[in-house]
Amino acid sequence: MSYAELFCQSNFSFLQGASHPEELVHQAEFLGYQALAITDECSVAGVVRAHTVIKNNQLGIRLLVGSMFWLEQQLQVILLCPNRQAYAELCRIISNSRRRSNKGEYQLAQWDLMSIKHCLILWLPTATASDHEWGEWLCKYHHERLWLGYQRHLSADDERYKHHCQQLAKQFELPITVCGGVLMHNANRLAVQHTLTSISNGIPIEQLGKDLLPNAERALRSQQKLKRLFPLDWLQETQKIAERCTFNLQELRYEYPAELVPEGISAMHYLRQLVKQGSKRRFPDGVPSHIQQVIDKELSLIEELNYPFYFITIHDIVQFAQRAQILYQGRGSAANSIVCYCLEITSVDPRQISVLFERFISKERDEPPDIDVDFEHQRREEVIQYIYQKYGRERTAIAATVISYRLKSAIREVGKALGIALPQLEFFIKNINRRDKHLGWQGQIVELGLQPESDKGRHFIHLVNELIGFPRHLSQHVGGFVISSGPLYELVPVENAAMQNRTVIQWDKDDLESLGLLKVDVLALGMLSAIRKCFTLIETLENRSLSIADITRLQDDKNVYAMIQKADTVGVFQIESRAQMSMLPRLKPACYYDLVIQIAIVRPGPIQGDMVHPFLKRRSGIEAIEYPSEAVKAVLERTLGVPIFQEQVIKLAMVAAGFSGGEADQLRRAMASWKKNGQLARFKTKLISGMQQRGYPTEFAERLFEQICGFGEYGFPESHSASFAVLAYVSAWLKYYYPAMFYASVLNSLPMGFYSASQLIQDAHRHNIQILPVCVNTSEYDHSVVHRQNDYAIRLGLRIIKGLSSKACITLLEHRPEQGYQTLNQLHRLAINNKDLQNLASANALQTITGNRYQSRWALMNNESNLPLFKQANINEAHAFSPTDVETLNEDYAATGLTLNSHPITLLEQAGRLSGFIRMNELSGRTHKSLVTVVGVVTGRQSPGTASGVTFMTLEDDTGNINVVVWAGTARAQKQAFLSAKVLEVKGILEREGEVIHIIAGKLIDRSEQLSLLTTQSRDFH
């Protein structure tokens, strides 16, 4: 006997299925099943993962595509796809059902089932009186493609239900087939399934009673057991149905819309026209012959692989952005082609980085082109709506992102399911240091009070581990659009997103890639908004028009690189983090390609792969550059023999270990997700033996594999780094030549980047830029740049005031008199609500009207001014209250998140609460390995995903930022101060490497209570 399971729900039937699609496939293969149908509820979200594991592992089991539905909570059916037409029909039914409802829900209509012409239907009777009515209705429309699906899960009424199904089958002359109703790949997942049921119902497990599965019979069962439970002819019917289902997801073909191409010419001919027109703009003095050769080669490859529509579609989108004056930048392997430079998709000038174009579209790996386009984050919505309007919602939607359980959410949900009090769970979550590599969360949670020897404690730890990585729901991708030539719902189901006017497909980017389907990435980037705003300010104030291309055409500027080498990069794109700023004085970027390397090298991949120090030694001439072969030299020469980029690692596997294109692509995918599934290990033997056979030393082969593991999901592509380097350089150029405009633009683009408004303001102060306070009479909504004493100053905008409504801002600005507001009565007459007025007063924005914030609040409390008799009066009570510096500090932070007055460390020292410490600007005078004490406001805790468990903390004192290194043991021994301190004193050892200074923390002392009302927030664990 050979069995096909026709009813199986994965964990993409959210909070029902208790196994991943991959687990179900492997288990069904192990049990010898002929086929397995993944039939999630009104969904095909899990089928691609099942398809991919079968294809990649060359398994013998066949995958059937289907879905389970409930109609009016009375009729339960499974629809299976025998062919491509049936699959399109299923996607249409799912789309219609989902689009009728809110996100996460569906509503199947009778018409959906009546209209079926191709799908096979399995009817699952509910053992109620309505079965006869629904059986008659189904037979009326679909008798020829209808089966009765019989399930048996060893419950008390098995015999009664079996007799009921036999009677229905006889009455309606229907064949009976076995359905497992599978929710788990094996019985061990029963506790997980109970937990999911608890989460779904919002009721602890112990209170669910009969709502829980009574046993583990809804797991995949052995064929021997199935023979004992079901008649042989019913089991054989599963095989017959499976044989009718020949549809394979590989049959899906994706076509881009053709309306962008003028009638009468081919897409390729049109693309060549566009490239030729663009080359004249990009190369006004003529295209150099070697550049033209590359263009011809790229166009030939595009034609051979049939991708012209893809490039034309991207070109159309960026042309819209140009017309709308929305700043953008393309990135990705194909984006850094000369074709994309001519199409104005990217600003990366090929004359600067011609070496990058060896990886364009990978023909040997059959890899589709990779182009991401970043747009201004505050205007990307315009681009999205343009796409919707041009192609219609029937033909375009956003790719999904699968939101999975992570440690915090798993602890919270499992704990509630087990009846653990929510305050205790929140205590666990708050006090677990997730970056501690030496003591896992399980050990930490025991230290925090969990009893591991108790039943509840054992279940808790086991279930949290199981739930991590389980899909929770579908969300929308950050910007991956799928655009089709015909109705998209014939390719993949479409459903409503949580955001209004958004629709998403049921597959994520990995699913699309697995099937070779192309998506257009329309992404948002805050730095583009900042650069656009900076260009506008420069044009307004300096009458100079600039673009990204204008700045890159100026070539490398020594002054800008000198600033970068000093790590004066607060606010600069990509090279502003603590780790990047520590590397800059060591690597000393002096040209564009140095920036490309700088951006990629400070990543967990190169760090874990132990590539940073060899590169720096070779760059400085300390270590010789050696290559084991010319083939390896061709791959690694531009990075001094050290693999820095993801592309290099993949290429090495091909040239040094003999990987085929398909194997290299599998290696790349395994690298991208190895922390989730550990699949990299299966490549180790092939990689090492392949290199040994080609004469490479075993030591070199093993080192390369360790580097690949180090890259893991953190490897950074050279193509992306090249595009990011352009924006890094442009933002650094703007900071050097137009600092006031730069800081104002970054502040106006928050939230983005690594730094808060307070930190940016502090850095502007250090660059001698005057910051003027927010004022109801002089501030605009945004922060503005104003002339002040033959220089520029930044006036804080109303946007900085916490809690101030946008309506109040608009009203204030629209009605503001030329001479400004003179009395509170003028504000009252604008009908601005009292909460907004209080927020203005707290931010000291009413100082020109009523005095300091305390006087302003007192005046607002005087309701007599609102009485008719006093409407024309100027009542300004002269309560001369002068706040202390500490009170001003606390009020400033509470109202705006920053202060323009004394720094907290200055105040603490003046109050005699701090002593015996040295400031940031004094550290350069101390010797290497000297003992020091520093203190500052904690502005960041950054823990890269490296094995060492180190955390980089940034302390801000009144002279600058201090870099502190906290080892895992130090953090664990002083967890409270490490995790919670807002003002931290550190006693440690000063270490110096060139111009880089950091403090190795020894003792951590929480000084937060000294400023108990301080409301600064650090940016933790990026």
pLDDT in tens, 224-241: 999 999 999 999 999 999
Structure tokens at 349: 């000038």
Structure tokens at 902: 């004394």
Highest mean pLDDT among 652-666, 703-717, 732-746, 954-968 belongs to 732-746
Report the pLDDT value the prediction gives residue 133, as an integer from 0 to 100: 95
Report the pLDDT value the prediction gives residue 591, as an integer from 0 to 100: 92
Report the pLDDT value the prediction gives residue 780, as an integer from 0 to 100: 96
Is residue 927 a part of any domain in this protein? Answer: yes
Q: Tell me the per-residue pLDDT of 807-840, one tens digit each, with 9 for 90 and over.
A: 999 999 999 999 999 999 999 999 899 999 999 9
Tell me, yes or no, whether 833 and 934 share the same domain. Answer: no
Structure tokens at 933: 């004490």
Tell me, yes or no, whether 958 and 1016 share the same domain. Answer: yes
Q: Residue 996 maps to which CATH number? A: 2.40.50.200
Q: How far, in Å, CA of 632 to CA of 700, rounded?
A: 11
Q: Tell me the per-residue pLDDT of 454-473, one tens digit each, with 9 for 90 and over.
A: 888 899 999 999 999 999 99
Report the pLDDT value the prediction gives residue 639, as an integer from 0 to 100: 87
CA 414 to chain centre: 25
Report the pLDDT value the prediction gives residue 606, as an integer from 0 to 100: 53
* The total number of structural domains that make up the chain: 3
Residues 1011-1016, mean pLDDT to the nearest whole number: 53
Tell me, yes or no, whether 970 and 868 share the same domain. Answer: no
Q: How far, in Å, CA of 19 to CA of 12, rounded?
A: 9
Tell me which of 836, 870, 896 is where a domain ends: 896
**Is the model more confident about 745 or about 940?**
745
Structure tokens at 18: 């208790």
Residues 944-954, mean pLDDT to the nearest whole number: 71
Tell me, yes or no, whether 911 and 1004 share the same domain. Answer: yes
- Exposure class string for 841-861: b at 16+ Cβ within 10 A, else e: bbbbbbbebbbbbbbbbbbbe
Q: Using the predicted structure, report yes or no on whether residue 568 has a pLDDT greater than 90.
A: yes
Q: Tell me the per-residue pLDDT of 781-805, one tens digit each, with 9 for 90 and over.
A: 999 999 988 899 999 999 999 999 9
Highest mean pLDDT among 566-570, 639-643, 702-706 belongs to 566-570
Tell me, yes or no, whether 878 and 931 share the same domain. Answer: no
Tell me, yes or no, whether 934 and 974 share the same domain. Answer: yes
Report the pLDDT value the prediction gives residue 149, as an integer from 0 to 100: 97
Q: Which of 139-148, 665-674, 753-762 bottoms out in mean pLDDT, i.e. has the lowest?
A: 665-674
Q: How far, in Å, CA of 575 to CA of 721, rounded?
A: 11
Report the pLDDT value the prediction gives residue 678, as an integer from 0 to 100: 54
- Exposure class string for 968-977: b at 16+ Cβ within 10 A, else e: bebbbebbeb
**Is the model more confident about 207 or about 652?**
207
Q: Tell me the per-residue pLDDT of 70-123, one tens digit each, with 9 for 90 and over.
A: 998 999 999 999 999 999 999 999 999 999 999 889 999 999 999 999 999 999
Q: Using the predicted structure, report yes or no on whether residue 361 has a pLDDT greater than 70.
A: no
- pLDDT grade for 651, boundaries at 50, 70 and 90: confident
Element (H, E) at 993: strand 983-993
Report the pLDDT value the prediction gives residue 945, as an integer from 0 to 100: 55
Q: How far, in Å, CA of 577 to CA of 567, rounded?
A: 10
Q: Is the CB of residue 933 less than 8 Å from the CB of residue 972?
A: no
Tell me, yes or no, whether 870 and 847 share the same domain. Answer: yes
The dihedral sign for the CA sequence 649, 651, 657, 660: positive
Tell me, yes or no, whether 848 and 932 share the same domain. Answer: no
Q: Count of CB atoms within 10 A of residue 750's CB? A: 17
- pLDDT grade for 331, boundaries at 50, 70 and 90: confident
Report the percentage of the chain scoring pLDDT > 70.
91
- pLDDT grade for 947, boundaries at 50, 70 and 90: very low
Q: How far, in Å, CA of 1014 to CA of 485, rounded?
A: 57
Q: Using the predicted structure, report yes or no on whether residue 930 has a pLDDT greater than 70.
A: yes
Q: Let me know how many helices (H) and strands (E) the chain has, helices first.
A: 43, 23
Q: Is the CB of residue 183 less than 8 Å from the CB of residue 9?
A: yes
Peptide bond connecting 751 to the previous residue in cis, omega within 30 degrees of 0: yes
- pLDDT grade for 517, boundaries at 50, 70 and 90: confident
Q: Using the predicted structure, report yes or no on whether residue 280 has a pLDDT greater than 60.
A: yes
Is residue 49 a part of any domain in this protein? Answer: no
Report the pLDDT value the prediction gives residue 657, as an integer from 0 to 100: 87
Q: How far is CA 967 from CA 504, 594, 955, in A?
A: 43, 30, 16
Tell me, yes or no, whether 915 and 1014 share the same domain. Answer: yes
If you search the block for the tokens 């940031």, which residue do you land on?
920
Nearest to 119 by CA among 138, 132, 134, 135: 138
Q: Which of 31-35, 392-396, 612-616 bottoms out in mean pLDDT, i.e. has the lowest?
A: 612-616
Query: Contacts by 173-176 with C-beta closer than 8 Å and gap 24+?
Result: 173/143, 174/123, 174/135, 174/139, 174/143, 174/146, 174/147, 174/148, 175/147, 175/148, 175/237, 176/147, 176/148, 176/149, 176/150, 176/234, 176/237
Tell me, yes or no, whether 859 and 808 share the same domain. Answer: yes
- pLDDT grade for 911, boundaries at 50, 70 and 90: confident
Q: Is the pTM of this model over 0.75?
A: yes
Report the pLDDT value the prediction gives residue 1022, as an integer from 0 to 100: 42
Residues 139-155, mean pLDDT to the nearest whole number: 96
Is residue 686 a part of any domain in this protein? Answer: yes
Q: Using the predicted structure, report yes or no on whether residue 494 has a pLDDT greater than 70.
A: yes
Residues 6+ positions from 903 with CB-CB distance below 8 Å: 762, 956, 957, 958
Element (H, E) at 479: strand 471-483
Q: Using the predicted structure, report yes or no on whether residue 998 has a pLDDT greater than 80.
A: yes
Q: Which of 332-341, 538-547, 580-589, 904-913 bottoms out in mean pLDDT, i.e. has the lowest?
A: 332-341
Q: How far, in Å, CA of 818 to CA of 135, rounded?
A: 78
Element (H, E) at 142: helix 130-142
Q: Is the CB of residue 143 less than 8 Å from the CB of residue 153?
A: no
Report the pLDDT value the prediction gives residue 614, as an integer from 0 to 100: 82
Residues 405-409, mean pLDDT to the nearest whole number: 93
Tell me which of 896, 925, 954 is where a domain ends: 896
Q: Tell me the per-residue pLDDT of 886-906, one tens digit each, with 9 for 90 and over.
A: 888 889 989 999 999 988 899
Report the pLDDT value the prediction gives residue 357, as an integer from 0 to 100: 40
Is residue 146 a part of any domain in this protein? Answer: no
Is residue 235 a part of any domain in this protein? Answer: no
Q: How far, in Å, CA of 537 to CA of 533, rounded?
A: 6
Tell me which of 835, 864, 896 is where a domain ends: 896
Tell me, yes or no, whether 909 and 820 share the same domain. Answer: no
Is residue 475 a part of any domain in this protein? Answer: no
Report the pLDDT value the prediction gives residue 363, as an integer from 0 to 100: 57
Q: Is the CB of residue 106 less than 8 Å from the CB of residue 70?
A: no
Q: Count of CB atoms within 10 A of residue 105's CB? A: 12
Residues 241-246, mean pLDDT to the nearest whole number: 97
Q: How far is CA 592 from CA 166, 553, 561, 722, 727, in A?
A: 76, 12, 9, 9, 11
Tell me, yes or no, whether 675 and 639 share the same domain. Answer: yes
Q: Using the predicted structure, report yes or no on whether residue 925 has a pLDDT greater than 80.
A: yes
Is residue 619 a part of any domain in this protein? Answer: yes
Q: How far, in Å, CA of 740 to CA of 980, rounded?
A: 34
Q: How far, in Å, CA of 633 to CA of 517, rounded?
A: 34
Alpha helices in 182-307 (DSSP H): 190-201, 223-229, 232-244, 267-282, 289-305
The range of the structural domain enclosing residue 986 comes to 904-1020
Highest mean pLDDT among 23-37, 242-256, 758-772, 971-985 belongs to 23-37
What's the N-to-C CA distance of the chain in angstroms?
A: 55
Q: Using the predicted structure, report yes or no on whether residue 1015 has a pLDDT greater than 50.
A: no
Q: Which residues pair with 999 in a beta bridge?
A: 964, 990
Q: What is the CA radius of gyration of the chain?
A: 32
Is residue 855 a part of any domain in this protein? Answer: yes
Report the pLDDT value the prediction gives residue 718, as an integer from 0 to 100: 80
Q: Using the predicted structure, report yes or no on whether residue 876 has a pLDDT greater than 80.
A: no
Q: Using the predicted structure, report yes or no on whether residue 980 has a pLDDT greater than 60.
A: yes
What's the mean per-residue pLDDT of the chain?
88
916: left (phi over 0), alpha (psi -120 to 50) or beta: left
The dihedral sign for the CA sequence 260, 261, 267, 272: negative
Q: Count of CB atoms within 10 A of residue 385's CB? A: 11
- pLDDT grade for 610, boundaries at 50, 70 and 90: low
Q: Using the predicted structure, report yes or no on whether residue 934 has a pLDDT greater than 80.
A: yes
Q: Using the predicted structure, report yes or no on whether residue 360 has a pLDDT greater than 70.
A: no
Residues 6+ positions from 24 with CB-CB distance below 8 Å: 8, 10, 36, 38, 50, 182, 185, 220
Q: How far, in Å, CA of 359 to CA of 332, rounded?
A: 10
Structure tokens at 370: 């990779």
621: left (phi over 0), alpha (psi -120 to 50) or beta: left
Q: How far, in Å, CA of 176 to CA of 164, rounded?
A: 12
CA angle 703, 709, 713 (to 5 degrees): 145
